[in-house]
Structure 1
Amino acid sequence: MRTTILVILIFFQISSIDGQTSLKKINLAVGDYKVGFRHYTTIDSTRTYQIRNEFNNQFIYRPIPVSIWYPASIKNTDSKQFTVLEYLEVLKEEEEWKNIPNEFLLDWFPYLWNTPENKGHLSEKAVAFSDASFLEGKFPVVVYAPSYQASSIENFALFEYLASNGFVVISSPSRGTHTRWLEGGTAKDMETQSRDVEFLLKEIHRYKNIDLGNVALMGFSFGGLSNVITVMKNPKIKALVSLDGTERYRYDVMEKSAYFDLNKLHIPYAHFAQKNIPEIVLKEDKIPAELNFKFQLFDSLKYSNVYSYKFHDLTHSYFSSFGVLFGNRDKRQDKSDHQIMDSYKQLSEHTLYFLNATLKNKERAKEFIENSPDKNGFPKSRISKKMKKSLVTAFNYKDFNDLALHQGYKELIPLYKETLAMHPNLKLEEGMLNSLGLRLSFDPERSEQGINVFLLAVHIYPKSANLYDSLAEAYLIQKDFGNAITNFKKSLELNPENQNAINRLKQLKNKARH
C-alpha cells in the first residue's frame, strides 16, 4: 500500500487531455529586480557515484549540478534572456544524457510529454538572463529540494518570481545515493537528499551577495520530506516551505531517521497541500482515504508556528512549473488549465508572502500569513487554511540572554534577527542592554563580550546617545582609543549636552598631545 501511495505522488497522471498553458498565462508579476541564472556542476569528494548508463564499474566523486537564480545587474551585452528550451537543456546533464539532440528532449524524458502544445512552450521567453552579474547587496536565500528524482529546474517559474522579488534560490537535482536512481522513497533516499541540501548550504558561502543569516529551505514532494530532517539537524535555518511535501503522507519514513526530533523543528513552517483526492481516484488507484485528512506532523509539532494550506484546484503534479506547463491532465480530477495556472500563481504569491514575513520581517507579509485566505481576498472554495501557534509564546530578554550566553555573546545581531523572526514580540529594553554591556565590559576577561552587547544595542536603538557613550567607554577600557573617540563623537552628535563625552574627548585629546 505504501509503495502505491509513493508512486501516485511521484509520477504525473497519464490520462491525458489537451492542455493550453503558457508562462504568460500563469501571469506571475515580475518584482523589482532583474533575474540572473547560472548552472554549473561541482563535486562532493566525500561521496562516490556511478553513471549508470555508461555501463561500467567506475566510481567518481559525487557530482552536484547546481542551479542558482539571483537578483542581477544586466550590464553584459552577452547576457540574453532564457527560453524554456534553454532551461530544458539542463536536463541533459542532470539526467546523464549530455549529447542528446534537443529535438529528442520531449520524447526522452517521460515527465515532459511530446505534444504540439508542449513543443510550443520551447520558444517561450522566461524571465532570467544568462551571464548576468549579481546585484550588489545582501539577499536572503532559499535552498530548494526537488521532488522524487526530479530536476533542479522543475520550479523555474517560481524561482524566477522569488529572485525578482529579492531572493536568491539555489537547487540541485534529486538523485540516488550511488546512481541517478533512488530506491523508492526510503529513509536512505531521504538522508541522501538531505545531504545534498546540506552541500548547498555550504555552497552558498561562496557568494558574497547572500545573507547567510537569512536562510530558508523549500521543497516539493519528496524534497519536502528531506527538508524536514535537514531542519532538525541544522538550527540556523530560519523558515521551512513545503510544496505538497511528502512529510504529510510518509511520516513513517521520517521517523526512521537518526535525526528525527520534533523538538528541533521550531521555526515557522508553511505546508501547501493538494486538493482532496476524489473517491473514484482513491478507489481506482488504491490510495488510502486518510491522505485527504491525516497530517501527523502538523498535529505533533509543539514549538513552531505552522501554517497548513490546501489548494482546492491543484493536484500534486501542479506544484511545479514542469507540471503546470508539461504535465498531462487526469480527467478524473484535474481542474481546467486556467484554474491550474491561476492556483499556481496564488501558490507562488503565498510562498513569497511567507518568505517576506520570515526572512525579511515585512509587516504586511506577517499580517498576510496570519490572516485567513478569505480575509486576504481568496475564496474558501479556492484555498483553505489551518494554523497552529507555538506553545512557547512568552520569550523575554532573559531567554534571549541565555541564547547569547550560549554562543559567547558573539554574532549577536544575526542571533537577534533570527530570534525576532521566531518571537516577534521579543523586546530588549535599552536599559537592560546598557546594564548588561557595562557589566561585561568591566570584567577584564569579558570586555569584548560587552562591546558585542553594545553593538547590538546601537543596532536596535541607533539614536541613543547614552548607548554610544557606553560603547565608547567599553572601547576605552580596552584601550581602543580610536573607536572610543568615534563613539563619543557619535554620542555628542545625538546629544550635544552629554558632559561625559565632552570630558572624555578632552582627556583623550590631551593624552594624544603627550
Structure 2
Amino acid sequence: MKKNLYLVIAIAICTLTSYSQSIVTNHLKYGEFSVGYKVFHEYDYSRSFHSKYDYYGNPANNTIGRPMQISMWYPAEANNTLKKMQLKDYIGYSASEIDFSKNTLKDRLVAINNFIKTVDASKQDLITNLLNKKTYSVLNAEEMANDFPIIIYAPPMNTSATDNYIICEYLASKGYIVVSALAKGQYTALQDRTVATVHTQAEDLAFLLGFAKKTYTNNNIGVFGFSLGGLANIVFATKNKAIDATISLDGSVMSQGWLNTIKDSKLYNPEEFTSNLLLIGKNLSAPEQNPSIFYDRVKYADKALIRYNHNQHSYFSGLNLLYEMILDDTLTFKEKETNYAFYAEMTKYVGDFFDQYLKNKNTFKEFDKKLYKHNFVFKKGLRKPLDPKSIGKTIIDKGFDYTNKVINDILKHETQYLKKLDWRELLQASISLKNNERLDEAIETLLLSNKVFPNWFVTNHQLGKLYLEKENETLAEACFRTALKDNPRHFESLQALNDINKEVTDYHKTKIDNTVPYLGKYVVDKERYRNIYIENDKLYLSSNYWDEPVELWPYTTNTFLVESDNPRNNMQVLFQFDDDNNVKSLSIRGLNSGRINEPNLKKD
C-alpha cells in the first residue's frame, strides 16, 4: 500500500514539473538532422540606431550601425557526446541583443535571474525547473556541409529571436537554415504601433536574408512570423519576390487594429503579393474578430488559411505557451496537454508548408486526424502576370512564341493586360530582333504592338519597312497607308510609298469647309487657355503659355493637323462633341508619344 502511495506522489511531482517542451514534443516528430545553434553579432551600417552625438553635440562614442544579434539554427553533424542547450541558455543570450558588450557568462546569468524574478515568488521554482529543461539544439555544433534552404523568422513586437525556438529547431531538424533577430524599434529597443515600425522590422528581415546569403547559396527562401512579425514578414515578402513561401502565425495582418493602421499605407499590397501564403489564426467560431482581408485579396500565389478553435494569441509563441502552462493553475492537465497538442500540430503544418514550397514535396494538406479542432482552406493561385515593362526583354530572351503564349494565358484572367504594355518598348524590342536577324519575330512583335496601340503610325511605318525586307511589297504598302491614315503628314511613310512607286494623295485635298463652330476659347485650367481663330484666311491655334501660335489644317471634323515641321509642334488637335453635335472640347494628341491630353472645354 505504501509503495502505491509513493508511486502516486512521484507521478504527481513529475506531472507538476513537466508542463514543458517535453509535452509539446510528445506530439512532434523531429526531422532526420541534429540541430546546432549559433549567435552572431553584426551591424547593419546602412541604418543608424544609437545617436552619434549627445545632447550637447559631443561625440557619443556609439557604434555606427544598427545592432543585429542573429540567432541561427541549422542541421548539424550528429555527435551524441555534445551537451544539448538548456532553455535558460536562450534567455541568457537576450542580454546582448542590443549591447554586444554584454555577452559574458555573467551577463547571461543576470538576464536569466532577472527573468525568473518577473514571476511570482511562489512560482519561481516551477519556472527554474522549466528553464533547466534541455532543448533540441547543441550550441556551436559543427554544421553539415549541404545546400539547405533558408528560412527567416520574424518574432512578435519587442520580443527576442528565440520566442518560437521550438519551431525553429524543428525546421532545422528537417534540413533548413533558420535565422532570426530581436524585434526592436527603429532607434530604440522598444517598438511602437506605427507603420514605420512594421517597415523597420521588414528591413531587419532583409538584412537577415543578406547575412544568410553570404554563406548559403540555396535560392529557396521562406519566412514566417508571429503577431507583428506576421505582418512585417508579409511586407518583406511583398517587396522581395525571391521569397517562395510566407507563413503568418496569428499575424497582425489579421488584426483589425493593425489593419486599420496599415491598409492605407504603401506597405499594404495584397494584389502584388506573389509568395505562397499560409495564415494560421485563432477564433474559428468568430472569424470576424480576425478578418482575412489580405488573404482574400491575394490572387497570384497559392494560399491557405487555418483557423483554430481557441482565442489565445499567446499560444502561438512556444515560450509563452510553456510559461503559461506552468503558471496557470486554472487549467487541468488534460487542457494543458490539449494546448501542447495544438502547438505541435501547428508546427507540423509550418514544416509541411515549407517542405512543399521550398523542397517541392507534396506534403501540405489538411490532417486526417486533428489534434485540435480547426478548419483548413486552400486555394490555388493564378500565375502572376509578367511585368508589362518586361515583355520586350522577355521576347528577346525567350522568343516571341513563348512570350505570346504567356500573354494569351494572362489574358484569360487579366482581360485588360494588353493596355498595360508600352509600344515604345515593343518597338525597341523589334529593332533589336531585326538587328540580330530575327526578322519574323520582329514583325510579330510589331503586330502585337498594333494590338496594344492600334493603328499607331510609328508602329505601322516600322512594320512596312520590315515587310519590304521580306520583299512583301503588298503588305508594306498597306502598312505605310495605315500609318498615313493616322498621321497624314508623316514624311517617312510618304517617302516610302514614293520609293516603291505608289501613288500618294496630298492630304491638303481633304478638308472640312466650315470651321466656324470650332472657333473660340478652350479652357485648360484656371490660368491657362487655348484659342482657335482665323487670320488672313488661315486657321490658327494659340495659347497664353505658348511663344507663338501654330497653323492648323482642318483635315476632318474630328481632327485638325498642325502645319509645322518643328518637333516641338509635332501634334494633332482632336475634338469632342455633345449630343447635339456641337463642339464641346478639344484635346492635344502628341505625335511623339501618342498620348492624348485631358479635354479642354470650349467656353461659350
Rounded to whole Å, the distance in 1 between the matches of 2:120 and 2:154 is 18
Equivalent position SS for 2:306: strand
Q: What TM-score results when the alignment is normalised by the length of structure 2?
A: 0.55
Give the TM-score taking structure 1 as reference length: 0.64
2:175 to 148, 163, 166: 166
Q: 1:405 aligns with which of 380, 394, 405?
A: 394
1:345 is aligned with what amino acid?
A: A
Query: How do 1:30-45 and structure 2 match up within 5 A?
Result: 30-45=30-45
2:23 to 22, 25, 30: 25
Q: Distance in 2 between matches of 1:26 and 1:127?
A: 12
How far did 1:123 drift?
A: 1.5
Q: Which protein is bigger by CA-based radius of gyration? A: 2
State the Cα distance separating 1:324 from its structure 2 match.
Answer: 1.5
Aligned-residue offset at 1:258? 2.5
* Aligned mate of 1:135, from 116, 139, 144: 144
Q: 1:148: how far off?
A: 0.6
Deviation of 1:134 after TM superposition, in Å, equals 1.7
Letter of the 1:73 counterpart: E
Instruction: Tell which has more relative contact order, 1 or 2 (C-alpha 8 A, sep 6+).
Output: 1
Aligned CA distance change for structure 1 residues 62 and 384 (closer, same or farther; 3 Å): same
Distance 1:129 1:167 in 2: 16
Whole-Å Cα distance in 1 between the matches of residues 306 and 378 of structure 2? 8
- Distance (whole Å) between structure 2 residues aligned to residue 226 and residue 244 of structure 1: 12
Identical positions, percent: 24
**Partner-residue secondary structure (3-state), 1:269:** strand
Mapped pair 1:323 → 2:320: yes
C-alpha spacing 1:90/1:302, structure 2 compared with 1 (3 Å):
same
Residue equivalent to 2:342: 343
8 Å CA contact retained: 2:88, 2:112: no
Aligned to 1:37, the other structure's residue is in SS state strand
**Map of 2:198 onto structure 1:** 190
Looking at structure 2, the residues matched to 102 and 320 of structure 1 have their Cα atoms a distance apart, in angstroms, of 20
Shift of 1:325: 1.1
- Note if contact 2:160-2:182 (Cα within 8 Å) is conserved in structure 1: yes
Aligned mate of 2:370, from 366, 371, 378: 378
Whether the aligned pair in 1 keeps the contact of 2:83 and 2:138 (CA below 8 Å) is yes
Q: Within 2, Cα distance between the matches of 1:403 and 1:342?
A: 53
- Distance in 2 (CA, whole Å) between partners of 1:74 and 1:55 is 53
Q: Are 1:66 and 2:84 matched, yes or no?
A: no
Equivalent pair of 2:238/2:275 in contact (CA under 8 Å): no
Q: In structure 1, what is the Cα distance between the partners aligned to 2:353 and 2:215?
A: 24
Alignment of 1:396-475 (within 5 A): 405=394, 408=397
Q: Distance in 2 between matches of 1:386 and 1:140?
A: 26
Q: CA deviation at 1:290?
A: 3.6
Residue 313 of structure 1 and its aligned partner are, at CA, apart by: 4.5
Distance 1:47 1:111 in 2: 40
Describe the SS at the equivalent of 1:63: strand
- Decide whether the 8 Å contact of 1:238 with 1:267 is kept in 2: yes
- Aligned equivalent of 2:166: 157
CA contact (8 A) 1:107 1:113 kept: no
Give the match's secondary structure for 1:204: helix
User: Which runs of structure 2 are paired with 1:115-514 in the superposition (5 Å)?
Assistant: 115-183=124-192, 185-208=193-216, 210-211=217-218, 213-249=219-255, 250-275=258-283, 290-292=288-290, 294-313=291-310, 315-327=312-324, 328-329=327-328, 336-363=335-362, 365=363, 368-369=364-365, 372-373=366-367, 376-378=368-370, 382-392=373-383, 405=394, 408=397
Q: Which has the higher helix share?
A: 1
Cα 1:64–1:235 shift into 2, 3 Å: same
CA contact (8 A) 2:250 2:313 kept: yes
Q: Which amino acid aligns with 1:33?
A: F
Q: Which amino acid is 2:34 matched to? A: K
AA at the equivalent of 2:394 = L
Deviation at 1:404, TM superposition (A): 8.8
Q: Could you list the runs of 5+ residues in structure 1 that have no partner in the other structure?
A: 1-17, 279-288, 410-442, 447-514
In the TM superposition, residue 277 of structure 1 has moved relative to its aligned partner by 8.2
Q: Tell me the C-alpha RMSD between the 2 structures.
A: 3.8
Does the residue aligned with 1:133 lie in a helix, a strand or coil? coil
Q: Select between 68-77 and 300-309 the one with higher mean Cα deviation.
A: 68-77
Is contact 2:42–2:70 with CA below 8 Å preserved after alignment? Answer: yes
What's 1:477 paired with? none
| C-alpha distance in 2 between matches for 1:45 and 1:39 | 19
Work out the number of aligned pairs and report it. Answer: 370
